Amino acid sequence: MDNQTIHSKAAHSKTIHGQMIHSQAPYTIGQLAALAGVTTKTLRHYDRIGLLHPTGRSEAGYRLYSDSDGRRLAEILAYRALDIPLEQIAALLADSKRTDRLNTHLKEMKHRRQKLDGLICHIEEMIRLEKEGAPMSAHDELNGFTHNPHEDEARDKWGDTDAWKESQRRVKSYTAKDWEQYKAEAENINERFVTLMQQGTPAESSEAIALAEEHRQLISRWFYECSPQMHAGFGDMWDADPRFKHNIDKAAEGLAEYMATAFRAAAVAE
């Protein structure tokens, strides 16, 4: 329908899945710009670079946009809200089904909202302590802005799970003091695992299994309800990604394998 001349602009309706949908298309460039909150210059630019062509033209040669054009513009603006470059948007629009694209985009926006909520809580805590005359240390203030390099990858892998969603719900309200407490508890458990391992205590022993249970309860208390089976799966995750094993083994060589074996033994003993 490119370059088609459209002679009239009459509102019409159609029924989709039992719902009456009202349309004011075709839209002039000024009407679509006003509806979308952008300038006509922006729409002309999108037309020029091939991102959004008008479906037709009036008898006088003016641009006229269809409902489909309007929906495409809505999707473009959704991507622009995340500062995605126009060149990348063009590739995204040609890459997959619209519903798949929108679902992916929605997940990214929710993720950014969660991160922003966490930053808001951190800054509120900074303000509260400042007013009380006991400001955070530079370490604690900066720690609240630190990005976990594995967070995006973890979200891609487990972002659709209930455990991930519950974890994100909880942590967005944690203060720097909360994180310090969690870190202290986690380090205490790890240090006790190191002691057991270096003493030669088998990972399947009652002592190691009891400590594994403490670790599982730590996860449940701070992040999400972690079942013994989920906990045993930590070992599989560490085996599949050497980065996890390397990070844990910084405390003591072989610690990741020792803890993973204890987690699996605890799940069997449950």
Do residues 73 and 49 share a domain? yes
- Is residue 162 exposed (0-12), middle (13-18) or buried (19+ Cβ within 10 Å)? exposed
User: Residue 40's pLDDT band (boundaries 50, 70, 90)?
Assistant: very high
Do residues 87 and 8 share a domain? yes
Do residues 231 and 245 share a domain? yes
CATH code where residue 210 lies: 1.10.490.50
Do residues 205 and 246 share a domain? yes
Structure tokens at 6: 């459209």
Do residues 74 and 13 share a domain? yes
Do residues 20 and 59 share a domain? yes
End-of-domain residue from the set 144, 171, 198 = 171
Give residues with Cβ within 8 angstroms of 204, minimum separation 6: 261, 262, 265
For residue range 66-90, what is the model confidence (pLDDT) as tens digits?
Answer: 999 999 999 999 999 888 899 889 9
Residues of the chain with pLDDT > 90, as a percent, come to 39
Tell me how far apart the alpha carbons of residues 55 and 68 are, in angstroms, rounded to a whole number: 9
User: Residue 158's pLDDT band (boundaries 50, 70, 90)?
Assistant: low
User: Of residues 18 and 57, which shows the higher confidence score?
Assistant: 57
**Residue where the block lists tokens 């508890």:** 185
Q: What is the DSSP string of 4-47?
A: EE------EEEEETTEEEEE-PSEEHHHHHHHHT--HHHHHHHH
Mean pLDDT check: name the lowest of 14-23, 138-147, 184-193: 14-23
Residue 19 main-chain phi, psi, to 5 deg: -110, 135
End-of-domain residue from the set 171, 204, 227 = 171
User: Of residues 154 and 125, which shows the higher confidence score?
Assistant: 125
Do residues 81 and 8 share a domain? yes
Q: What mean pLDDT do residues 227-241 have?
A: 82
- Which pLDDT does position 157 carry in this prediction? 52
Q: What mean pLDDT do residues 236-242 have?
A: 76
H-only helix segments in 132-175: 138-143, 151-158, 162-171
Tell me how far apart the alpha carbons of residues 251 and 35 are, in angstroms, rounded to a whole number: 59
> Which residue segment(s) compose the domain that 249 sits in?
176-269
Do residues 184 and 265 share a domain? yes
Do residues 84 and 103 share a domain? no
Do residues 47 and 83 share a domain? yes
Cα 130 from chain centre: 31
Secondary structure of residue 57 in the 3-state scheme: strand
Q: What mean pLDDT do residues 115-131 have?
A: 80
Query: Would you tell me how many other CB atoms lie within 10 Å of the CB of residue 124?
Result: 11
CATH code where residue 51 lies: 1.10.1660.10
Give residues with Cβ within 8 angstroms of 185, minimum separation 6: 218
Tell me how far apart the alpha carbons of residues 216 and 193 are, in angstroms, rounded to a whole number: 13
Checking if the pLDDT of 210 tops 50, the result is: yes
End-of-domain residue from the set 69, 93, 117 = 93
Q: Based on the structure, what is the number of domains in the chain? A: 3
Do residues 107 and 139 share a domain? yes
User: Of residues 132 and 141, which shows the higher confidence score?
Assistant: 132
Q: Rounded to 10 degrees, what is the CA torsion of 198, 201, 204, 209?
A: -80
Element (H, E) at 239: helix 228-240
Tell me how far apart the alpha carbons of residues 159 and 167 are, in angstroms, rounded to a whole number: 10
User: Residue 10's pLDDT band (boundaries 50, 70, 90)?
Assistant: very low
Do residues 85 and 107 share a domain? no
